[in-house]
Amino acid sequence: MSEIKTYKDLLIWQKGIEIVKETYLLCKEIPNDELFGLQSQIKRSSISIPSNIAEGWGRNYTKNYLQFLKYSRGSLLELETQIIIAKELNFISTESFNKIQDLISEESKMLNAFIKSIDK
């Protein structure tokens, strides 16, 4: 295991970036009339996941960092809800849904474990 020197070394941040990339691919399936609705919300919540991890790291204070990790977790759950809505409305394929859902599940477990390890 290598030393963590920056937020970019954190697996939770790297997984967050992967979620953003997959989310942008998934959004290509959503109808254009949802560009300023659900599609926009999905993109914003996905971007918030790694962004809050990075911002919290930059605060350089454990209590602030924990708060930003929790914001990241909230954005992850927000994204999950929006993806479920997109699936329920038949905007996205089952394959795309399952792929992003698996990433969300992995990130959720990683974030929860990381929050617990820092909160000690």
63 is written with which tokens? 């209590």
Tell me the C-alpha distance between 16 and 47, whole Å.
Answer: 8
Residue 7: per-residue pLDDT: 94
Residues of the chain with pLDDT under 70: 1-2
Q: Which two tokens stand for residue 98?
A: 């399952």
Q: Model-level pTM?
A: 0.93
Residue 42: how many other CB atoms lie within 10 Å: 26
Chain segment 69-104, per-residue pLDDT in tens: 999 999 999 999 999 999 999 999 999 999 999 999
Q: Which two tokens stand for residue 112?
A: 């929860």
Tell me what pLDDT residue 119 has.
81
> CA 53, 38, 76 angle in degrees (round to 5)?
25
pLDDT of residue 3: 84
> Measured between alpha carbons, how far is residue 77 from residues 11, 81, 83 in Å?
18, 6, 10
pLDDT of residue 35: 84
pLDDT of residue 63: 85
